Structure 1
Amino acid sequence: MNAPTDLSMKTDEVLRVELAVFRREHRDLDDAIHALAEQATADQLTLQRLKKRKLLLKDIIARIEDRLTPDIIA
């Protein structure tokens, strides 16, 4: 799945749906990384790629959450 390029052009409803999808993919990657890491013959390149994708998703999730959370000046 590709990262959203311009969050300002999307409605909050669309962003919430995308956020749920990205969170699910992030959890699935976490499970895959743990399962692969437990194997004695784990492919380190694949692990690296999965971890890199997981970090990218974490950044995307944070950007969407920032967009959806209103700034409150205390």
Structure 2
Amino acid sequence: MIEGLQQDAAYAARVIRAFLDGACGDYDWDDFTSCSLSDPDADSIRLRAARVPLPGGDDERRTLIALAEEAESLARGTAAGRS
């Protein structure tokens, strides 16, 4: 079960990083922000990313970077409450 939850978090991190790098496909960001993830922690990251106003400036970019880092931590199992 934890493995599947970590996969959701890894997916969230990958999509956010790809978006920041300009490497998202035409529908990748829309799919990510529109489709729920099974892990509530990863889905919270997804929902917060979806609320970031786009196109954004430096503040929005920093917010997305922080969300990607949070998702990466969750995927490694090092987020609060996970082991």
Q: TM-score range by the shorter chain?
A: 0.3 to 0.5
Q: TM-score, normalised by structure 1?
A: 0.42
Larger Rg: 1
Greater share of residues in helix? 1
